[in-house]
Amino acid sequence: MTVNIIVCVKQVIDPEAPPSSFKVDEASKKVVPPAGVPPVISPFDENAVEAALRIKDAQGGKITVLSMGVNLLREVVKKPLSMGADELVLLEDEAFVGGDSWANALGLAMAIKKIGQYDLILCGRQAADWDDGQVGSGIAEMLGLPSVTLARKIDVGDGKAVVERVTADGYEVIEVSLPALITVSNELGEARYPTIKGIMAAKKIEPAVWKPADIGLEPAQIGAAGRKISLERLYQPVHEGKCELIEGESPEEAGVNLALKLREQKLL
């Protein structure tokens, strides 16, 4: 069977930027984007794109990428296209900003309804900004679809998907009827690099840009106005720790001195 897949991706501040470059503005309860570090697709969402591409490689199909926000950099949100996805839909409007998982899932679910044709919806297991991991399950609930979270492998066939789901001590194999929503974890494997051909092809693809009204929503239902959970405070934890560096004439001696120090401290 050829498979119609929708993948939801989020543009986030690069989570691998050095922790020392990370700053918040407590007054506005916002993160200050680090200067000179471009945003990225949230890494688990890239794993979800990879999962979609593997299914497409195996049996053919169409991959539509869906992203929501403002100031979506085209070179960022087009990356999945340059990896091999086919279409891009952007929910781009100030009204979509500042939502919680509820408001965000609602926007995405309504857009998916409008896209209409799908066998599979894929999301990353959690976005690297709020680390919530709710939007995938939320979309499934809003659309009345079965959901499987934390996939490390997905096989599709016969109107169902067979999913390996990561657990604390290994994984479980789950069969789910289609259409379904699946969230993807990094254990699936790294996302492929865009190819030159892919980058050229992506350049030619014009994203569809939708506003709240296009998906039947009022601004009051989405973004900050649509929140169920209010953000009271955002701050950086203080590091009061001070590290005592153990030295030696040579690295080996430093190792020996470390052992002696830990012994003295009754840590060994």
Q: Which of residues 39-68 bind another protein (CB under 8 A)?
A: none
Is residue 22 exposed (0-12), middle (13-18) or buried (19+ Cβ within 10 Å)?
A: middle
Under rule CB under 8 A, residue 117 binds another protein: no
Compose the 67-106 pattern: x for residues touching another protein by CB under 8 A, - for all others: ---------------------------------xxx--x-
CA distance linking residue 237 with residue 168, whole number of Å: 27
Is residue 72 exposed (0-12), middle (13-18) or buried (19+ Cβ within 10 Å)?
A: buried
Question: Binding another protein by CB under 8 A: which of 37, 76, 97, 174?
Answer: 174
Size of the site for ligand FAD (CB under 6 A): 4
For the CB of residue 128, give the shortest distance to ligand FAD in the complex, in Å: 4
Under rule CB under 8 A, residue 116 binds another protein: no
Under rule CB under 8 A, residue 245 binds another protein: yes
Under rule CB under 6 A, residue 43 binds ligand FAD: yes
122 binds, among ligand FAD, another protein, none (CB under 5 to 8 A by kind): none
Under rule CB under 6 A, residue 216 binds ligand FAD: no
Under rule CB under 8 A, residue 132 binds another protein: yes
Radius of gyration of the chain (CA): 22
Q: How many residues does the chain have?
A: 268
3-state secondary structure 54-83: HHHHHHCEEEEEEEEECCCCHHHHCHHHHH
Is residue 14 exposed (0-12), middle (13-18) or buried (19+ Cβ within 10 Å)?
A: middle
Please give the residue ranges that form the binding site for ligand FAD (CB under 6 A). Answer: 15-16, 43, 128
